[in-house]
Amino acid sequence: MSSSCTPPANVSTSATRARARECVRPRSAERRARRLNTIAASVDRDSVSAGDDCEAHAAAFETSGETTLKEFVAQALGVATLASISGGEATWLIDTEGAGKGCIGVIAQQWPGPRFLLDSSRTVEQHFGERPPALYFRYWCQAAPEAVFSALLLGEPLPSKYR
């Protein structure tokens, strides 16, 4: 017995193409549905030096309410690149309620990826609710990222930005 998306061998090529258009793989249907449910999002970041102020850092992009926070941060980093610091040690805080508020994680130039203070599989919709989704990357200079992450996790004051 043939599957519902496989035409019989005696069907013409044009009929095969028409049948193929009717058969949508679940994954592509899921992607199409996500595009239909897109929401506007924004990202901004601190400047790291006077020369870094030459260009705006704010950017807008589209996401979905079903996007995980981990994916959302990756999307934001794709449209708003963080400045690389000579020496390779820059620490950034990931804020979700404007600069200095709602920190959800830490990014360190020397780490392979962000470290989250909450479950990064939560969705944009779960985290932001009715608020427009937005991230702000706050530069914490070259402070030790492990110490910054630990302080945030324990609810302690952040270590100095300056070593």
- Give pLDDT tens digits for 134-161: 999 999 998 999 999 999 999 999 999 9
pLDDT of residue 36: 58
Residue 35, exposed/middle/buried by CB under 10 A (0-12, 13-18, 19+)? exposed
Which residues on adjacent β-strands are paired with residue 40? 62
Handedness of CA 47, 53, 55, 58 (dihedral sign): positive
In a domain, 119, yes or no: yes
- Please tell me the pTM assigned to this model: 0.75
Q: In this structure, what CATH number is given to the domain that contains residue 58?
A: 3.10.20
Looking at per-residue pLDDT, the higher value among 74 and 6 belongs to 74
Lowest model confidence (mean pLDDT) among 10-19, 40-49, 81-90, 109-118? 10-19
Which residues on adjacent β-strands are paired with residue 115? 106
pLDDT of residue 28: 55
SS3 category, 34: helix
In a domain, 10, yes or no: no
In a domain, 9, yes or no: no
Provide mean pLDDT across the span 25-39. Answer: 60
Range of the domain at 137: 38-154
Angle 34-69-117 from CA coordinates, rounded to 5°: 170
**Number of domains the chain contains:** 1
In a domain, 24, yes or no: no
Which two three-digit tokens encode residue 11?
A: 């069907």
In a domain, 135, yes or no: yes
pLDDT of residue 47: 81
pLDDT of residue 89: 86
In a domain, 8, yes or no: no
In a domain, 11, yes or no: no
pLDDT of residue 55: 64
In a domain, 7, yes or no: no
With bands split at pLDDT 50, 70 and 90, how would you rate the model's confidence at 87? Answer: confident
How far apart, in whole angstroms, are the C-alpha atoms of residue 90 and residue 109? 5
